[in-house]
Amino acid sequence: MNGQPDIDLKAAVNAISDVIMNRPRPLREFDQIHMKAGDMVMQAEHVARWADAKYLVFVGDGDAISVCVAYLQSRGILPYGPARILVLDFDERVVSAVNRFADKERIPSLEGQLYNCLDDLPELSGFDSFYTNPPWGASNGGASVKLFAYRGMEAVKFSGEGLVVIADDDALPWAQGVLHSTQAFAASHGFYVKRMTPRLHSYHLDDAPDLLSCNLLLRSLPADMAPKVHELRVDEELLKNFYGADKSPRVRFVRERKRLDYGMAHDDEYELELLDGGE
């Protein structure tokens, strides 16, 4: 792909299918929207190549791109990938799915940790890259994107690279505004846009099936050129409409009720209607 060595596409798609079967279903209330499978293959390859041999932290990962990247590398489908991947997410279902998959497939480089971006970042060390696909900020001018990106910048101690996935649609003024504000925010915190790959990913989104997102690759300025970084205040104004119109945060963690068995339907998802005479 993109001038890199050819990969076994069938093996890659089948591996992504394994990941999709493992990940929890999205909660639209929290703006969780899953990327489509074909785009997940392309994104995983891109992230693996970009973050080859790096320590990569995901600030949220409902899509399970982190798992895709680690799994494709561990199966030998991709000859490159991060040396370590840490997933921070406030959804315990996501974190548990990451850790169970890593345990089942024996991927020691992959780990999930429960964390809400409204809280201070836990002490981290050694990370030089971050990835986030945050709530896209249609109703808050990109404030939600800024907070997720800021946590990523903190995780790499404002020195390294970050990949931000956000909406990209020339017909939507809000998407253009969020792209602009995100780039301005990055610049004010010592990062510049190294590359932008437009209109790249599609999603399972009923009310906007044609909405696409882009990859916004950020890179930090040399230390002697970087501006003084001001702490981002998590206040009422920042959190207004965080997950959409009139959807400010009210939940610290999404807790997992039941174990997610690989590839199995849950007994609370279905009921049985028996044949005549059955009990």
The whole-angstrom separation of Cα 71 and Cα 75 is 6
- What are the tens digits of pLDDT across the range 118-175? 999 999 999 999 999 999 999 999 999 999 999 999 999 999 999 999 999 998 999 9
* CA dist list (Å): 246 to 79, 205, 242, 243: 45, 19, 8, 8
Task: Give me the domains of the chain, ranges plus CATH numbers.
Answer: 9-239 (3.40.50.150)
Which pLDDT tens digit goes with each residue over 75-134?
A: 999 999 999 999 999 999 999 999 999 999 999 999 999 999 999 999 999 999 999 999
- The model's pLDDT over 23-66, given as tens digits with 9 standing for 90+, comes to 999 998 898 999 999 999 999 999 999 999 999 999 999 999 99
Under 8 Å between Cβ of 253 and 90 = yes
Whole-number pLDDT of residue 3: 56
